[in-house]
Structure 1
Amino acid sequence: MLQYDLSHQATVMTAVNNFVDYMLNLELSHTDFIAHLCVLISAFQVFDQEGSEYGTSVGAFRNMVQFVEAHRGDVGIEAYLIRLSPKGISNLQTQLRNHRSLYLAEIRLFRQQEKDNQESFLAYVQRILHDHYKVLIVRVDLGYLKASMPNITVQDFYSHIESTRHLLKDKNGCFKHLLGYGLALEQGSSKGYHAHLMLIYNGSERCQDWYLANEVIQKWHEITQGLGYGVNNNTPEKKKQYADRGLLGIGMIHRNQPLEMQNALNVALYLTQPEKFMQRMLIKPLGKRTFFKGIYHEHGRKYKNNHPTSAEAGIWCEQDVDDLLDEPIVIEP
């Protein structure tokens, strides 16, 4: 039997997605299928939000729930499901499986969108890196305390993200001398809704990247009214781990150091990965995006690049990042 954490919206949507994905690829007995539905439907209805855009799998499940609601009459959901005939159960399973082609199309679309985002963001970061002798790169991850997750909906998450983006645009306080940024939104069964943020500062104006990262995390804490937490990836300990493996692309990056430049670009690449389909947002407000970058205006001065990108630069994979960050899945209050 599949196991679920149904304590908050993000995990419920992940549980529904995993259930539908299982149904599209494997078989469940009628008894197990109904047992899962009895658990998932009631949990889903608690966190279902009008005005939201759902991924294909969750949307298919939602349509099936609406079908059940339209046919159960005055009978409770569990009682209705238990009394279903084999034909009725097969009908519900078919409703989910009819979305298989749409699900596969969603995978292809996600990978293409991430590839497009990756190319656009990489070019954006390259312009900034080559425009300045040195830049200061800060990486933080923003999420929510485990105890607060049951109170956080996707609308709350996007509201907090919008507040963060307003601060990024204003470029005051800990965002003063900010040249550009990338912000990727994701969700997971354990981390819930979370964001990966890459900040690029003018290195001639800013230093102490670990301090800036802490200040950004404090801003997130204020925005979320104490419900959020952040992970500082710019601590001396973590930077040493990156450096020992030839992967250091955060902190002070110099234009005349090819390895630093390439690793900084690899940090940018990590924010948009076509392989991270399972961490995609399964629910979001209508018309909202899941990746954002700042606006950068080139200063027009041309520099001769006598230091081509090094072929020996470390290549980051997701496991590299997970190993080096050694990041806790969630932070206890």
Structure 2
Amino acid sequence: MLSFDLSHQAAAFSAINQFIELSLNFEISDQQFVSYLEHLIPAFKAFDQDGVQYSASIQAFIEIVHWIDYKRGECGLGDYLIQLSLEQIKEVRRTLRKYRFAILAEIRQFRDQEGDNQKAFLKQVKTIIYDHNQLLFVRVDLGYLKDSMPTITIKDFYAHISSLIKLMKDKNNCFKHLLGYGLALEQGITKGYHGHLLLIYNGSKHDQDWYLGDMVTKKWESITQNIGYGRHSNTKEIKDKYDRQGILGLGMIKREHPSQVHNALKVAQYLVEPEKYGQMLLVKPLGRRSLFKGSYKPHGRQYQIKFVPPSIDPLHIVTGNQNDTAWLDELWIPDQ
């Protein structure tokens, strides 16, 4: 039996998604199948919202919920499920199987879209690098304290994100001299709704990346009225660790140092990763997207850039083994 966390919306929908994948790809007994439904249906109803769009797997589950509610009438959910016949359970399973192709198509579409997003974001980052001799890269992870997760819905999350994006566009205070940014929104059972933010500042105007990271996390906490939590990777300890591993792409990045540029582009590349389907948002407000990037207008000046052999060309990023960037995706929700 799987142990599901159903305490908050992100976890409940992730659990439903896992149940759908389990049902379609593995053999589970009718007893287990019915037991999962008995736990997951009330959880879905507790966190269901109007004005949102659901993933294909959640849509499949919704059809099951409607079928069961129609059939059981005034009978209690548990009482109805326990007396389901073998043929009725098969009918529910057949309903799920109808969505197999839609779910697979959604995975392909996600990978294609994220691949396009990744290329577009990397192109923008490369343009910024070309235009500026030195840049300050700051990475911040944004989420919510565990105790507050049960109160956070996807609409709350997007409201907070919208406030943050407005501040970044205004480019005041901790966002002054910001040249570009990328913000990827994800969800998970452990982290709940969370975002990965990469900020690119003019390195001629800023040199204290740890300070900016602290200010951005504090700004997020303020936006969320202190139920949000942020952690940045620009501390001396974290950067020293990455430097020893030869993967430091944060802090001051100088165009004349190919290894710095290469690592910075790897950080940008990982922000939008087509293979991270397991962390895709399963629910979004209607018409909203899950990746945001700032606008950047090239200034059009021409530079004499030192020649770098193609094998280490800092403006050419090659997607390698996914494990090359797995170090970026650490768990960071604090203990309560």
The residue number in structure 1 matching 2:250 is: 250
C-alpha distance 295-211 of structure 1, shift in aligned 2 (>3 A)? same
**In structure 2, what is the Cα distance between the partners aligned to 1:138 and 1:307?**
27
Aligned residues: 332
Q: Report the secondary structure of 1:7's partner residue.
A: coil
Q: Report the secondary structure of 1:193's partner residue.
A: strand
**In structure 2, what is the Cα distance between the partners aligned to 1:307 and 1:46?**
60
The residue number in structure 2 matching 1:49 is: 49
The residue number in structure 2 matching 1:219 is: 219
Instruction: Please say if residues 258 and 310 of structure 1, whose CA atoms lie closer than 8 Å, have aligned partners that are also in contact.
Output: no
**In structure 2, what is the Cα distance between the partners aligned to 1:45 and 1:77?**
12
The residue number in structure 2 matching 1:109 is: 109
Which 5+ residue runs of structure 1 have no aligned equivalent?
none
Instruction: Please say if residues 135 and 252 of structure 1, whose CA atoms lie closer than 8 Å, have aligned partners that are also in contact.
Output: yes
Q: How far did residue 94 of structure 1 move?
A: 0.8
The residue number in structure 2 matching 1:89 is: 89
1:197 aligns with 2:194: no
Q: Report the secondary structure of 2:186's partner residue.
A: strand
**In structure 1, what is the Cα distance between the partners aligned to 2:324 and 2:237?**
15
Q: How far did residue 305 of structure 1 move?
A: 2.1
1:302 aligns with 2:302: yes
The residue number in structure 1 matching 2:125 is: 125
- Matching residue's letter, 1:331: P
Which 5+ residue runs of structure 2 have no aligned equivalent?
none
C-alpha distance 293-239 of structure 1, shift in aligned 2 (>3 A)? same
C-alpha distance 316-181 of structure 1, shift in aligned 2 (>3 A)? farther
C-alpha distance 250-316 of structure 1, shift in aligned 2 (>3 A)? farther
**In structure 1, what is the Cα distance between the partners aligned to 2:211 and 2:244?**
22
**In structure 2, what is the Cα distance between the partners aligned to 1:8 and 1:324?**
25
> RMSD of aligned C-alpha atoms?
1.7
Task: Render the CA deviation track for 1:228-256: whole Å, top value 9, x for unaligned.
Answer: 11111000111111111111111011111
- Matching residue's letter, 2:217: I
Q: How far did residue 309 of structure 1 move?
A: 6.8
Moved more, 148-157 or 306-315: 306-315
The residue number in structure 2 matching 1:331 is: 334
Query: Identity of paired residues, percent?
Result: 50
Q: How far did residue 308 of structure 1 move?
A: 2.9
**In structure 1, what is the Cα distance between the partners aligned to 2:125 and 2:328?**
23
Task: Render the CA deviation track for 1:132-151: whole Å, top value 9, x for unaligned.
Answer: 01010100000100000000
**In structure 1, what is the Cα distance between the partners aligned to 2:102 and 2:330?**
36
C-alpha distance 107-244 of structure 1, shift in aligned 2 (>3 A)? same
- Matching residue's letter, 1:43: A
- Matching residue's letter, 2:39: V
C-alpha distance 119-214 of structure 1, shift in aligned 2 (>3 A)? same
The residue number in structure 1 matching 2:273 is: 273
Q: How far did residue 307 of structure 1 move?
A: 3.9
Q: Report the secondary structure of 2:15's partner residue.
A: helix
Q: How far did residue 332 of structure 1 move?
A: 3.3
Q: How far did residue 74 of structure 1 move?
A: 0.6
The residue number in structure 1 matching 2:64 is: 64
The residue number in structure 1 matching 2:291 is: 291
For normalisation by structure 2, the TM-score amounts to 0.95
For normalisation by structure 1, the TM-score amounts to 0.96
Instruction: Please say if residues 267 and 325 of structure 2, whose CA atoms lie closer than 8 Å, have aligned partners that are also in contact.
Output: no
Q: Report the secondary structure of 2:7's partner residue.
A: coil
Moved more, 195-204 or 304-313: 304-313
Task: Render the CA deviation track for 1:240-288: whole Å, top value 9, x for unaligned.
Answer: 1111111111101111111111111111100111110000001111111
